[in-house]
Amino acid sequence: MRDMSFHITTFGCQMNAGDSEWLARAMQARGFSEAPFGQASVYILNTCSVRDKPEQKVYSEIGRIRSLTGNDPNVLVCVGGCVAQQVGNALFSRFSQVRLVFGADGIAQAPDAIVRLTRERFRRLSLVDFSAEYPEREGPLYAGTRVPASAFVAIMQGCDNFCSYCIVPYVRGRQKSRRAEAVLEECRAVLDAGAREITLLGQNVNSYGHDSGGMGFTDLLYKVAALPGLARLRFITPHPKDLAPELIRAFGELSVLAPRLHLPLQSGSDRILERMGRRYTRAQYLDLVAKLRAARPEMHFSTDIIVGFPGETEEDFQETMETMRQANFVGSFSFVYSQRPGTRAALLQDELPRKEKLERLSRLQEWQYAHAGEMLRALEGETVEVLLEELSPKPEAGLVIWQGKEPRGHTVNVTLTGPEPARGWKGSLVPAQITAAAMHSLRAEQVGEAR
C-alpha cells in the first residue's frame, strides 16, 4: 500500500451518512488520513440499494476509481452498506480492486479488516452476515477528529415492517434496538466533543425497543433531551403507524425537540397504501399531522412519495396530490417506483410505463417546488436562532457569512456582524432575522449575540 489515506463516498440515507462519519473517525484512529477523491489509496463506498438508480451509481463510481487509478492493485476499494449486502461476493468477480464487502452489521469490523487488507495484498474479505443483536461499535473515537455541530447517533438497525416495495429488511436485516445506555453514552460524548444538535437515527425510530422489550422511543427521547449542552434534538425516520400519542405530546413538552418532522406518506391513495403494506390510511395520516400541529403549531413537515406504484391510476395520483396539499409539506423526496429484487411488489404484474410515471413525478415536483418557495417566503421578517455549521459556500467580499439551520430545518446563510464568540462560530447559536428566501434556502442577518 502506497500510503495510509482514505476517501469515503456516501450514497443514500442519513443512516449511511451517520455510518460514514463513524467510519472516518475509526480510520483516523488507526492512523489513516482523509484525502480527496483521486488522491487516496483506500476508497470506501457506503452504498444504497433502496432504488435501482443509486445502485447503478455505485457500479459507475467503482469504474471511475478503476479508470482514475489505472486498476492499480495497490488501490483498495471497499464496498459497504446495502449494495454490498445485496450483491455480496459477486462484487469480487466483477471488480478486481474490490477486496472488502461489508453489510450494515459488518461495519463494526470494517476498519480492522481494512488494516489487515493493506498488509495482505491479495486477500479478500466478506462481512455480510447478520448479527442477532445490535452490532455495537467501538468508540466514540472523537479525539483528534472534527465533530460536526449537528451529530448523528444511531439507535437501531434494520426493520420489521416489510413494506411490499422495500428492500431494507433484506439488506439491513430485522430490527435490532441498541441498548439505551449505549445511546445515552454516545450522546454525552458528542456533546462533550462540541456538538450542539443530535439527530437520532433508525429505519423506524419510533418502534425502538419493540424488539427487545426494553425502553420505548419516547422515554429515550426524554432522557436524551435532558442531557446538558444539548440545544436541539431531531430524529429520523418515524413510521406513521407507530406514532404514539405520547410522542406527539413530546413535541409540546420538549423545547429542545425541533419543530420539524420527516413523516413518510408514500401515497395518498388508500388502495395503493394497502398494496404497499403501509398499515395506515390517508385519513389516519392527516389526523397525525393535525395532532402534531396542535401540539407544536410552528411545525414543518417533509415526506417521501413513491409515484407510479404498480396499479396506480390517475385518480390514485390525484389523491396523493390532494393529500400533499392538505398536509402542507414544505419538502418531499419523490421518486418513480423502482422494482427491487425479492420484494412482494416485484411480483405485481400491472407496472406503469416509465413515461407515465415520469410525467406524474414532474407534476408532483413542480407543485412541491412552487409550494416550498411560498412557505419559505412566508418566513421573511421572522427572527430565528441559527445553528452555524460551516462557512457559506457562496462568499461575498467584505462579509462574514456562515451557513446553518434554523429550528424547522431550513438552511440559512447568515451575515455575521457581532464579535466572534469564544467557542468560535462553528456550533454557535445566532439570532438572525430572515431577509430573503431563495429556492432552497434563506438569507438572514445577525440581530443578537451568539451563544
* ∠ Cα 216 222 224 (to 5°): 100
Contact indicator for 340, 166 with CB cutoff of 8 Å: yes
Q: Which three cell numbers stand for residue 155?
A: 439507535
Q: Are strands 400-405 and 5-10 parallel, antiparallel or unpaired?
A: unpaired
Tell me, what's the pLDDT at 145? Answer: 66
146 pLDDT tier (thresholds 50, 70, 90): low
What SS3 state is found at 254?
Answer: coil
User: Rounded to two decimals, what is the model's pTM?
Assistant: 0.93
Assess contact for 139 and 25: CB atoms under 8 A: yes
Give the pLDDT confidence score for residue 141 in this predicted structure. Answer: 80
Q: Give all domains of the chain, ordered by start, each with its CATH number.
A: 5-127 (3.40.50.12160), 150-377 (3.80.30.20), 383-446 (2.40.50)
CA distance 166 to 71: 35
In 10 A of CB 76, how many CB atoms?
21
Model confidence at 414: pLDDT above 70: yes
Q: What is the mean pLDDT of residues 345-363?
A: 95
Is 70 exceeded by the pLDDT of residue 259?
Answer: yes
Q: In the predicted model, is pLDDT for residue 364 greater than 70?
A: yes
Q: Give SS3 for 114.
A: helix
How does pLDDT run across 219-241, given as a tens digit for each residue?
999 999 999 999 999 999 999 99
pLDDT mean over 321-325: 98
E-strand spans in 116-162? 125-127, 150-154, 156-157
Burial pattern 136-158, b for ≥16 Cβ within 10 A else e, equals ebeebbbeebebbbbbbbbbbbb
User: Is residue 101 pLDDT above 70, yes or no?
Assistant: yes
- Mean pLDDT value of segment 59-69: 95
> Please, what is the average pLDDT of the chain?
95
Q: What is the pLDDT of residues 15-60, one digit of tens each?
A: 999 999 999 999 999 999 999 999 999 999 999 888 778 889 999 9
pLDDT value for 139: 81
C-alpha separations of 251 from 116, 221, 235, 291 in Å: 47, 10, 12, 10
Q: According to the model, what pLDDT value does residue 285 have?
A: 98
How far is residue 169's CA from residue 400's CA, in Å, rounded to a whole number?
46
| Contact between 47 and 11 (Cβ < 8 Å) | yes
337 neighbors 316 (Cβ within 8 angstroms): no
Over residues 209-221, the pLDDT tens digits come to: 999 888 999 999 9
pLDDT over 50 (residue 1): no
Contact yes or no for 73/121 (Cβ under 8 A): yes
Looking at residue 53, what is its pLDDT?
Answer: 80
Tell me the percentage of the chain whose pLDDT exceeds 90: 90
pLDDT per residue as tens digits for the range 306-318: 999 999 999 999 9
Q: What pLDDT sits at residue 2?
A: 54
Residue 142 has pLDDT above 80, yes or no: no
Task: Give the count of beta carbons closer than 10 Å to the beta carbon of residue 166.
Answer: 21
* CB-based contacts of 304, cutoff 8 Å, min separation 6: 262, 264, 265, 266, 332, 333, 334
Mean pLDDT along residues 380-409: 95
